[in-house]
Structure 1
Amino acid sequence: MKTILIALAVAIAGILLFATTRPDTFRVERTITIQAPPEKIIPFLEDFHQWPAWSPYEKLDPAMKRTLSGAERGKGAVYQWDGNRKAGSGRMEVLDVVPSSKVSIQLEFTQPLESKNLAEFDLMNKGGATSVTWSMSGPQPYVTKVVTIFVSMDKLVGGDFETGLVNLKAAAEK
């Protein structure tokens, strides 16, 4: 029994030590090509009233409480939510909109874990079509480093980004 406990303690210590070698930041991104000009896509991104048409996170909790404030759209628009375990709670604020090319959003989660990240949508006009990259980046504190040994942020969020981009494509190409 003592040998098992020592082996377990060494394994846990090894995992905790290994976590210190993990990067201090993370970045997850996905890209899709949409058959529409950037001017048709930007309104879906800079206006939180339009997010139900494409965001996969809108479907996590049908009873989720949503509050929109600040600017109607674009810089200063704010979206707060409070939902179930899956949706969590937090706040988004549009930090900047570069016409036809970029929307930057400050993303703050308060539940289930606190974090502050940057979400960005980069649009590149490709002559009638637009390449849209949805990314999220931010700090990776020690607890997150430990968790990401077992579950990567890319696997945690990447599938949602893929779903959202497919939904965005369908909405923008109508």
Structure 2
Amino acid sequence: MLEVIAIIAVILAIAIAIVLILASTKPATFSIQRSAVIRAPADRIFPLVNDFRQWTKWSPWEKRDPALKRSYGGAASGTGAIYAWDGNKNIGSGRMEILDASSPSKITIKLDFFKPFEAHNTAEFTFVPEAGASATNVVWVMRGPSSFMSKVMQVFMDFDKMIGKDFEAGLASLKTLSES
């Protein structure tokens, strides 16, 4: 019996060592990016991202918690606008602040998550006119540091696919809203 326990302990130690080694090979930063061409001028799309109150119409996370608690502060929109949320386990809690809003081409957002995991990232939206300004390529990027715990999680989960799906859903909603 003692021999079986020793063998299990050695196998478990090897498995943990492999996970830790794989985690240490992950990059120190991450970047997730998705884009969509929307048949609308940038100046029609820009306000939907620049005003956090408009996010309820298109953000993929807004519908995951009907009891989501939202608060707004700072400027009504653009640089200095603040949005904080506190929701269920699917949403967690966090805060966003628009650091830069260059209408109608770019919005940079400081994105802080508090629950379920603390993280401090940057989100960026760029709006690039296409086809004579009758369409806009909207690019949504999130960048940030990868903590060691995040790297361990990345051994088992593909964050790009997981978060990328949400970005794709949000861009699709933004497209539908902007083109109607």
TM-score bracket for the superposition, by shorter chain length: over 0.9
Q: Which residue of 2 aligns with 1:49?
A: 53
Unaligned runs of 5+ in 2: none
Q: Structure 1 residue 100 and structure 2 residue 97: aligned?
A: no
Q: Structure 1 residue 171 and structure 2 residue 173: aligned?
A: no
Normalised by the length of structure 1, the TM-score is 0.98
Q: Which residue of 2 aligns with 1:87?
A: 91
Report which of the two structures shows the higher radius of gyration computed on alpha carbons: 2
Q: Sequence identity, in percent?
A: 48
Which of 98, 115, 129 matches 2:119? 115
Q: Which residue of 2 aligns with 1:140?
A: 146
Q: Which residue of 1 aligns with 2:161?
A: 155
CA distance in 2, matches of 1:3, 1:53: 56
What displacement does 1:167 show?
0.2
Q: Structure 1 residue 17 and structure 2 residue 21: aligned?
A: yes
SS of corresponding position for 1:74: coil
Which of 130, 137, 145 matches 1:131? 137
CA distance in 2, matches of 1:78, 1:7: 49
What displacement does 1:120 show?
0.7
Normalised by the length of structure 2, the TM-score is 0.95
Deviation beyond 3 Å, 4+ runs, structure 1: none
SS of corresponding position for 1:100: coil
| Structure 1 vs Structure 2 CA RMSD | 0.8
What displacement does 1:87 show?
0.7
What displacement does 1:104 show?
0.6
CA distance in 2, matches of 1:148, 1:21: 11
Unaligned runs of 5+ in 1: none
